[in-house]
Structure 1
Amino acid sequence: MSTYISEANKHIQDYLDYYFDGKKNFEYAVLLNGAWGSGKTWFVKKYLEKKEDQGKKICYVSLNGIAKTSLIDEAIFKSIHPILGSKGAKLAGQILKGTLKATVKIDLDGDSKSDGSISGGIPKIELPDYLKINDNFILVFDDLERCELKKEEVLGYINYFVEQEGIKTLIVSNEEEIKDNDEYARKKEKLIGATFSYIEDQNLAIKSILDEISEVDLKSILNSEIELITQTFNQVGYKNLRAFKQTIFDFERFYKRKYFEDKDDSFDSEIFKKVLRAFLILSLENKKGRFDKEVLNFKSDLNEENSKKPVDKIVESISGFVGEKAQEFKKKYQMNLAEYMFSKDLWDQILNKNIINDSLISNELYQIYFRLKEEPPTWFKLWHYLDLEQKEFEELVKEAKLTIENQSLTNVTDILHTVSMLVYFKEKSLIFFSIESLLVLAINQYKKIVNLQENIKKFGYFDICDESGGYGLYARELPIFQKFLKDIAQAYEDKYIEKNEERGKLLLTLMENDSYEFYQQITNKFYDYPILNALEPKGFINQLCKINYRCAMSAIDGLKSRYTAHSQAKIYLQEEKWFERVIEVTNEKLAQPITILEKHKLQDKFLPNLTEIKNTAYKG
């Protein structure tokens, strides 16, 4: 077995052994350079573990975020004397240099109050012999580029230990992030005697990260899928091992064996691999900054969207990837949206909100995978229709037709695929009965069973591919099926609109009982949807007069924010008639017999604000 940590970097290990194990006073430090996430820190720590096993005394200091040399002193002291250097015993000052001339205060209980002091020019602290600085002592400074001090100042500081104390020192850095200058170059030339560039040893680094998994069962499974993991990591192209390590640990937190077990409690490796690959892709792309706030949410170009033909929009919506950047992402991984296994909302919960909801995860895996294996619907049996005998094919087609005629399908996925396959078979002259009436029945059944989601208001936001179960739709390119998709999208929107009266009543209630939530709903939740058309203008003004003045002005502020924002939806134009009627009703109310205070509110407070909103509203 090789004694090298990394074969690709064995020359570095050989030189460090020569440097640290020899008796020579080298009077220079060694610099190890490497990109962030390349694994150089992991390599260094593994090497230091070997040195500790050989009896070396290690002082490892990260310079990340350090802004004063005194903090480096303290970090060094904590490293060589972890008991006195702990939170229970904070010592400040330049201990190792012997330049401390003030009183050293000791806080033993961590309450930031001194519990005693040691007076004198040099602290009278006798370190045990095994901590004394000698040939067995190794000093390591990591993250030089992240130190907040001037880098030349840090090198000058480190030079004291190398030149005056003869301490063998390793500096670890990513020099690409350091702005070079003459002073830095001069200090570096004086201090550094040997420089090495760490060669990323990807396979070794990935294996070492997997070895840190605590769950024995998961560690074994992941190690058996290391080829898939490595391939996906390289495909993402985000060569940052820190981010990869975090992703693996996030997966460990997410993982429960029961998610991947069938009804007989047998582990299904196929679904595990699908979820693992999707998790790696989405997590790493998310850390890379690919998405806009939410997982699988791509920034769109308004001009690009407006220039597209309706048929192109339909095709994109079927795929679930809308916009140029989304299409680039789709081509990169050659995966349909449903092949990412979970819905966008669930992925966002898992990766951004750190919410692991067992029931949602299990339910989505059941619907998209286990249900099709355990209780295969008719369309699924027809999927490989070319392998069927003629009689079996005819019986299954008859069964599929009956499920639509009897409106017995209770799953959106089943409706989509059943219609898709019948349309496809008709196009290929494999069936001869009329399907037009079946499409009408399927649309009605779809509208009956589809679950409304408040944040999905119409077709532009309804990713039909989310409901296709990870299987491509046979008839997706056929005009009759594309019209069917438009019709069910309209059915969804119609069902959503039917709830608007109920939503309008809720908004009026919120105006009085929760003005903050009313503001949030009309400026965020419904920012792009003309929900205010569901409110009777007279009822809105009456409610405005009825509630307390603070809540009324909050509602008006909400209107101002809603209509003056440069929204893509040009929401004012969609509600312009409603808003103009609100102003008319206000004037009508002023012409009626009302109290002096109510007239004051309407005439001097509400109406001027409403008029100003009308004049400044964004009309696109």
Structure 2
Amino acid sequence: MVQENLISVPNKHIEEYLDYYFNGRKKFEYAVLLNGAWGSGKTWFVKKYIEKQISKDKKVAYISLNGISKTSEIDEAIFKCVHPVLGSKQAKLAGQIFKGALKATLRIDLDGDSKPDANLGISAPDIKLPDYLKIDDNFILIFDDLERCELKKEEVLGYINYFVEQENIKTLIISNEEEIKDNDDYARKKEKLIGATFSYIEDQDVAITSILQEVENEELRDILNLNFGLVRQNFNQVGYKNLRSFKQTIFAFERFYKKEYFEWNGVFDNEIFGTILKSFLILSLENKKGYFEKTILEFKKDEKLDDDKKIDSTSKILKSLRGINSTDAEKFMNKYNFSLNDFIFSPKLWNEILNQNILDEQKVRNELYEVYFRPKEEKSTWFKLWHYLDLEQEEFDSLVKEAKLSIENKSLTNVTDIVHTISMFLYFKENNLIFFPVEGLLESAIKHFNDIVPVKENSRKLCKSIISEGSITYGFYAKDLPLFKSFLERISQEYENKYIENNKERGQVLLSLMENDSYEFRLQMTGKYFSYPILKWLNPVFFVDTLLKIKFKNARSAIDTLSSRYESLQDKTYMEEKELYDQAINILREKLKNSKILERHKIKDEILPQLIEIKEKFLKTE
């Protein structure tokens, strides 16, 4: 056999034996078993082998046993393979030809006693099949997915035994025996039927190459072949050795791919193509593997990373910037040495692409531009310095001077540019590449950061979505330096202070919702502010006045909302809201002294007891 014509070099011995078994007229009276794990490529190998046999004018019936629960279904599947014209929907002849024609051609013996089983209701149809449609010596039977057949495995082997022993049909059975529960009956049937057993050796390179060759887009196929090493590396790194899933992922990428996505000024950008391809492979295969909770990049939450005693604030900031909010998220990002930004697209867009099969071209273009092409187009100073090892000394000195002035003059308009610039300076200082003091630059940068950082209502702390908006995928050079960690802590505090500045206004909005929109009030208290002590900034006088003036059903709804809020999550954070209840209860008791009869009833018998119950039940001081 010529080496170049082999399907798989590591499995050369299997191919050579199958040639020996299937070619020639020797009657073996046994079947061959090919064993291998799911996704190892054994089915791919067999289908390639089938192509070779068909080219030699062999007639091959390939039958998948997956999900089959009756032998009649196997009859039908074989008949479709042997007689494709008669097996078509148009030629079922009132639904009788399938079983009748097959039973007329073959006598089925399930129990291996060499006698046709009479209880199957076999009867020959009143038709004659031309000789050229009948099974002959060139016929090969291949049964795949034995382990997935819903019949008892020993029953299936007994069924197959007839073809081998009585009709001398050469038969190959493909299985993952690790998934078959062995028993005496199965062992006996197997011993009688199987004459040669082989274990398929995974041949990853040739399998991946074959799958890439199935990509119809010739341009993309060529690019993927050029990136073969990247494809193989990520396939192995995910560790999900399932070639079926890999094939699905490659075809999904072909559907997603448009050359224009990766072009800038008429030039194809290999770097961003490689990054998107890597992200696509990782996220798609990990998703098929079942790593994510419900959506792409959604991880199982835990309390470990939320415990202030276990993790210092700087580490929490750095983890947040990497998209880490749980132990699973941390393991995932560390596995690939990635941050959330390295995946380029937002988790929401990835979920649309990979889970919902939605391809919104405009969203793809917009996110690619914002995250990758815009910084290249604007050529931020820190971005140029990020590649400082490629610079000449004069160019390096000029860019450092330019970056220094941008901090001193507060000319930067993007918070990420500020953080990256400071990161570069601290790194250069640590490595003796610059010699001027940086302390003054830190102070200037912190003030400038506070001036321009946008406060997002749903982000109470500094996080990745704030600091890296519009950022390229590059990390911070100085991320491990103490001075940079201190800088992150300070800008994080600046952001929180800026958020808190609007808390009184947020409190006024909540009071308005108590009066006018009970449903939205509940949503905000149990959602937006679920783990945030927003009531700490509520004016207790305004709170009491609102409860007394609004419709009673709204007041009762508001109090029920507050009670359910604490009941859902008894968090120490809520202790900060205890003072509101202390003061509100005192104010209501004072009002009792001068209230009219109806208001006194409302306070004494309805509102006051409920507020006291909330305080005593949920807001006890330890």
Say yes or no: TM over 0.5.
yes
Indicate how the Cα distance of structure 1 residues 297 and 186 shifts in structure 2: closer, same or farther if over 3 A, else same.
same
Secondary structure at the counterpart of residue 229 of structure 2 = helix
Question: Residue 110 of structure 2 aligns with which residue?
Answer: none
Deviations 1:45-89 (A, max 9, x none): 222222233333332222222233333334334444556655675
Question: Residue 310 of structure 2 aligns with which residue?
Answer: 307
Deviations 1:277-307 (A, max 9, x none): 2322333233333444454455465346542
Amino acid at match of 1:245: K
Indicate how the Cα distance of structure 1 residues 592 and 142 shifts in structure 2: closer, same or farther if over 3 A, else same.
farther
My pick for the range that moved more, 409-418 or 299-308, is: 299-308
Question: Residue 365 of structure 1 aligns with which residue?
Answer: 368
Secondary structure at the counterpart of residue 477 of structure 1 = coil
Q: Is the 8 A contact 1:343 1:466 kept in 2?
A: no
Task: State the shift of 1:546 in Å.
Answer: 6.8
Question: Residue 442 of structure 1 aligns with which residue?
Answer: 445
Amino acid at match of 1:265: G
Secondary structure at the counterpart of residue 6 of structure 2 = coil
Structure 1 unaligned residues grouped into runs of 5+: 101-118
Task: State the shift of 1:272 in Å.
Answer: 1.5
Equivalents in 2 of 1:618, 1:190: separation in Å? Answer: 76
Q: Is the 8 A contact 2:372 2:471 kept in 1?
A: no
Question: Residue 143 of structure 1 aligns with which residue?
Answer: 145
Q: Is the 8 A contact 1:403 1:409 kept in 2?
A: yes
Task: State the shift of 1:585 in Å.
Answer: 9.6
Q: Is the 8 A contact 2:454 2:466 kept in 1?
A: no
Are 1:471 and 2:489 counterparts? Answer: no
Alignment of 1:548-587 (within 5 A): 562-565=565-568, 572-573=574-575
Indicate how the Cα distance of structure 1 residues 235 and 296 shifts in structure 2: closer, same or farther if over 3 A, else same.
same
Secondary structure at the counterpart of residue 103 of structure 2 = coil
Deviations 1:452-483 (A, max 9, x none): 55654423676856776333424333444323
Question: Residue 98 of structure 1 aligns with which residue?
Answer: 103
Equivalents in 2 of 1:547, 1:156: separation in Å? Answer: 74
Are 1:417 and 2:406 counterparts? Answer: no
Question: Residue 274 of structure 2 aligns with which residue?
Answer: 273
Deviations 1:376-425 (A, max 9, x none): 22223334557766665554344323323443322233111222234445
Q: Is the 8 A contact 1:57 1:137 kept in 2?
A: yes
Indicate how the Cα distance of structure 1 residues 121 and 32 shifts in structure 2: closer, same or farther if over 3 A, else same.
same
Length, aligned pairs only: 593
Alignment of 1:153-552 (within 5 A): 153-262=155-264, 264-299=265-300, 302-303=303-304, 305=307, 306-317=309-320, 320-321=323-324, 325-385=328-388, 392-393=395-396, 395-424=398-427, 428=432, 430-432=434-436, 435-436=439-440, 438-447=441-450, 449-450=452-453, 456-459=459-462, 469-497=472-500, 501=505, 505=509, 515=519, 523=526, 526-530=529-533, 537=543, 545=551
Deviations 1:336-370 (A, max 9, x none): 55443344444444334444343443344334433
Secondary structure at the counterpart of residue 251 of structure 2 = helix
Indicate how the Cα distance of structure 1 residues 150 and 430 shifts in structure 2: closer, same or farther if over 3 A, else same.
same
Secondary structure at the counterpart of residue 196 of structure 2 = strand
Q: Is the 8 A contact 1:27 1:162 kept in 2?
A: yes
Amino acid at match of 1:173: S
Task: State the shift of 1:200 in Å.
Answer: 1.1
Task: State the shift of 1:219 in Å.
Answer: 0.7
Task: State the shift of 1:261 in Å.
Answer: 0.8
Indicate how the Cα distance of structure 1 residues 384 and 234 shifts in structure 2: closer, same or farther if over 3 A, else same.
closer
Percent identity over the alignment is 55
Equivalents in 2 of 1:162, 1:618: separation in Å? Answer: 80
Structure 2 unaligned residues grouped into runs of 5+: 106-120
Indicate how the Cα distance of structure 1 residues 243 and 434 shifts in structure 2: closer, same or farther if over 3 A, else same.
closer
Question: Residue 106 of structure 1 aligns with which residue?
Answer: none
Bigger Rg, which one: 2
Q: Is the 8 A contact 2:304 2:326 kept in 1?
A: no
Question: Residue 13 of structure 2 aligns with which residue?
Answer: 11
Amino acid at match of 2:493: Q
Question: Residue 60 of structure 2 aligns with which residue?
Answer: 58
My pick for the range that moved more, 85-94 or 304-313, is: 85-94
Are 1:68 and 2:70 counterparts? Answer: yes
Equivalents in 2 of 1:216, 1:308: separation in Å? Answer: 51
Equivalents in 2 of 1:546, 1:316: separation in Å? Answer: 46
Equivalents in 2 of 1:541, 1:129: separation in Å? Answer: 93
Q: Is the 8 A contact 2:63 2:77 kept in 1?
A: yes
Q: What's the C-alpha RMSD, in Å, of the aligned pairs?
A: 4.6
Equivalents in 2 of 1:91, 1:561: separation in Å? Answer: 63
Task: State the shift of 1:222 in Å.
Answer: 0.3
Task: State the shift of 1:545 in Å.
Answer: 4.4
Equivalents in 2 of 1:542, 1:382: separation in Å? Answer: 62
Deviations 1:310-335 (A, max 9, x none): 44434544555566555554554344
Q: Is the 8 A contact 2:287 2:296 kept in 1?
A: yes
Task: State the shift of 1:178 in Å.
Answer: 1.0
My pick for the range that moved more, 492-501 or 584-593, is: 584-593
Amino acid at match of 1:430: I
Indicate how the Cα distance of structure 1 residues 163 and 522 shifts in structure 2: closer, same or farther if over 3 A, else same.
farther
Q: Is the 8 A contact 1:586 1:607 kept in 2?
A: no
Task: State the shift of 1:9 in Å.
Answer: 1.9
Indicate how the Cα distance of structure 1 residues 72 and 385 shifts in structure 2: closer, same or farther if over 3 A, else same.
closer
Secondary structure at the counterpart of residue 268 of structure 2 = coil
Equivalents in 2 of 1:454, 1:405: separation in Å? Answer: 30
Equivalents in 2 of 1:572, 1:398: separation in Å? Answer: 49
Indicate how the Cα distance of structure 1 residues 151 and 414 shifts in structure 2: closer, same or farther if over 3 A, else same.
same
Secondary structure at the counterpart of residue 150 of structure 2 = coil
Indicate how the Cα distance of structure 1 residues 81 and 573 shifts in structure 2: closer, same or farther if over 3 A, else same.
farther
TM-score of the aligned structures, taking structure 2 as reference length: 0.78
Indicate how the Cα distance of structure 1 residues 537 and 53 shifts in structure 2: closer, same or farther if over 3 A, else same.
farther
Amino acid at match of 1:98: K
Indicate how the Cα distance of structure 1 residues 458 and 14 shifts in structure 2: closer, same or farther if over 3 A, else same.
same
Task: State the shift of 1:494 in Å.
Answer: 4.4
Secondary structure at the counterpart of residue 267 of structure 2 = coil
